[in-house]
Amino acid sequence: MNRLRIQSLQVKEYRNIQSAQLDFSSDLQLFIGLNAQGKTNLLESIFLLALGKSHRTRSHRDLIQFGKPFAVVAATIQKPHTTDHVRIVLSEKGKRIEKNGVEQPRLSQYVGTLPAVLFSPEDLELVKGSPRVRRRFLDMEIGQVSPTYIYQLNQYQQLIQQRNRLLKDPVPSESILEVLDQQLVQFSIPIWKRRLLFLNSLKVWAKETYQMIADEKETLEVYYQPSTTQLSQHESAEWEDMLSQEIRQIRTKELRRRTTLIGPHRDDLRLEVAGVDVGAFGSQGQQRTAALALKLAELELIREEIGYYPILLLDDVLSELDDSRRSHLLKKIQGRVQTFVTATSLEGLDAQTVSRAAIYQVAQGK
Ligand code: ATP
Ligand code: MG
């Protein structure tokens, strides 16, 4: 079977979930419950297994049940050729990740064990939020399939910190700055290449997905908006020279602003629906659909990369879509992707969807 599936999940003293042991036999799991019962917490625990961190907090301590010393999340994951047992233990001291009984000291090496795509209400920020949100999206998605990219990005980020510190010196050393300029060019280029490659496929799938859900003639276009015009004006073989020149040209400006002004850390994505910036001018439904399309495009991109679909986590998304968009969405994922969905009720779901789903009632963390 050419599929990825979480067979079973154990969650212990994680947020408001005391202890849960779930076996998943269906493709579609619906977690139904009133507000504040633990639905998002459960999805978050699966996301934690996938990415090694929460999508809601940076502090792993927030995830441990109040007053408890540890939280544990574990799962058995069935893949086309292997079965993996993964386990994350959170404590005051830190986070311990195990795969098949072996500790995983490097997150970049662990990530990819459980490929996953999450869509939650906060993802509207992908469309409405600052460029930082969109860069983070790009970086997380590429990172999921490329440990090398995570490494390159870390190196780049350290360089930017170092360079910005230097630019803040009262009299920055010319010679050190020149060395860092060279590194800036060298570190930026592979990141740009990887991002543009990713975007080439992302834009195709996002467009197709948008159209499928919206069922309208309007389309979603995604463009990379770099902080330098060199990328669009020159072939990649010329980037190195052109960038070095540009960095020299903006030297005085950078010294005045005391920060690094060009590089992947200043870039953005532009999202257009029906030819206009959807974040600034789109309707709420268009914005939501655009954010969802970007996330669902990832399903396809990850499949292209690894040969099978990742799991899909949909938090609170169904209630936000109209009937037509909701049924298009469910049709798209049917039978192909193991999906975990939260909702406050089954209302608005068609009988066919309900009949093929495994339905879990979530109340007070149980
Ligand atoms: P909604 O429908 O409103 O989104 P939900 O079922 O998704 O609700 P969750 O976000 O999962 O709700 O949160 C459930 C409860 O978990 C919250 O009321 C919160 O107080 C509680 N909670 C969060 N963190 C912890 C923690 N570390 N320890 C114990 N309880 C926690
Ligand atoms: Mg919730």
DSSP class per residue in 81-144: S-EEEEEEEEETTEEEEEETTEE---HHHHTTSS-EEEE-GGGGHHHHS-HHHHHHHHHHHHHH
Question: How many structural domains does the chain have?
Answer: 1
Ligand 1 near 36 CB (within 6 A): yes
Q: How far apart are CA 20 and CA 1, in angstroms?
A: 27
Q: How far apart are CA 73 and CA 50, in angstroms?
A: 11
Q: How far, in Å, from the CA of 18 to the mean position of ligand 1?
A: 12
In a domain, 79, yes or no: no
Q: Which residues of 107-135 are buried (b: 16+ CB within 10 A; e: fewer)?
A: ebebbbbbbbbbbbeebbbbbbbeeebbb
Q: Residue 86's pLDDT is what? A: 98
Q: Which residues belong to the annotated binding site for ATP? A: 33-40
Q: Residue 333's pLDDT is what? A: 85
Q: How far apart are CA 117 and CA 313, in angstroms?
A: 6
From the CB of residue 306, how many other CB atoms can be counted at a distance below 10 Å?
16
Q: How far apart are CA 30 and CA 243, in angstroms?
A: 50
Q: Closest Cα partner for 50 from 88, 20, 12, 19?
A: 88
Q: Closest Cα partner for 325 from 219, 210, 196?
A: 210
Exposed, middle or buried: residue 210 (CB in 10 Å: 0-12, 13-18, 19+)? Answer: buried
Return the ligand 1 atom nearest residue 68 CA.
28
Q: Specify the CATH number for the domain of residue 218.
A: 1.20.1050.90
Q: Which two tokens stand for residue 296?
A: 């669902």
pLDDT in tens, the chain (366 residues): 578 999 999 999 999 999 999 999 999 999 999 999 999 999 999 999 999 999 999 999 999 999 999 999 999 999 999 999 999 999 999 999 999 999 999 988 898 899 999 999 899 999 999 999 999 999 988 887 788 999 999 999 999 999 999 999 999 999 999 999 999 999 999 999 999 999 999 999 999 999 999 987 789 999 999 999 888 888 899 999 999 999 999 999 999 999 999 999 999 999 999 899 999 999 988 999 999 999 999 999 889 888 999 999 999 988 878 888 898 888 888 888 999 999 999 988 888 889 999 999 999 999
Q: Residue 208's pLDDT is what? A: 94
Using left for φ > 0, alpha for ψ between -120 and 50, and beta otherwise, residue 316 falls in: left
In a domain, 2, yes or no: no
What's the start-to-end Cα distance of the chain, in Å?
32
Q: Residue 223's pLDDT is what? A: 96
Return the ligand 1 atom nearest residue 342 CA.
7
pTM here is 0.88
Query: Tokens 């799938």 map to which residue?
Result: 205
Ligand 1 near 2 CB (within 6 A): no
Q: How far, in Å, from the CA of 99 to the mean position of ligand 2?
A: 28
Q: How far, in Å, from the CA of 16 to the mean position of ligand 1?
A: 6
Ligand with the closest atom to the CA of 315 = 2
In a domain, 49, yes or no: no
Angle subtended at Cα 299 by Cα 45 and Cα 73, rounded to the nearest 5 degrees: 15
Q: How far, in Å, from the CA of 304 to the mean position of ligand 2?
A: 30
SS3 71: strand
The half-sphere exposure of 126 on its side-chain side, counting CA atoms within 13 A, is 25
In a domain, 204, yes or no: yes
In a domain, 329, yes or no: no
Ligand with the closest atom to the CA of 56 = 1
Q: Residue 151's pLDDT is what? A: 93
Residue-range definition of the domain harbouring residue 134: 116-309
Q: Residue 146's pLDDT is what? A: 86
Q: Closest Cα partner for 116 from 308, 348, 280, 313?
A: 313
In a domain, 272, yes or no: yes
Helix axes 174-214, 284-306, angle to 10 degrees: 110
Q: Closest Cα partner for 274 from 218, 207, 208?
A: 218
Ligand 1 near 16 CB (within 6 A): yes
All residues at 6 or more sequence positions from 169 whose CB lies less than 8 Å from its CB, including other chains: none
Ligand 1 near 66 CB (within 6 A): yes
Q: How far, in Å, from the CA of 132 to the mean position of ligand 1?
A: 27
Ligand 1 near 60 CB (within 6 A): no
Q: How far, in Å, from the CA of 38 to the mean position of ligand 1?
A: 5
**ipTM score assigned to the predicted complex:** 0.99
Helix axes 147-168, 174-214, angle to 10 degrees: 130
Ligand 1 near 59 CB (within 6 A): no
* Adjacent-strand bridge partners of 269: 224
Ligand with the closest atom to the CA of 343 = 1
Q: How far apart are CA 110 and CA 104, in angstroms?
A: 6
Ligand 1 near 120 CB (within 6 A): no
Q: Are strands 102-103 and 28-32 parallel, antiparallel or unpaired?
A: unpaired
In a domain, 303, yes or no: yes
In a domain, 318, yes or no: no
Helix axes 131-145, 147-168, angle to 10 degrees: 140
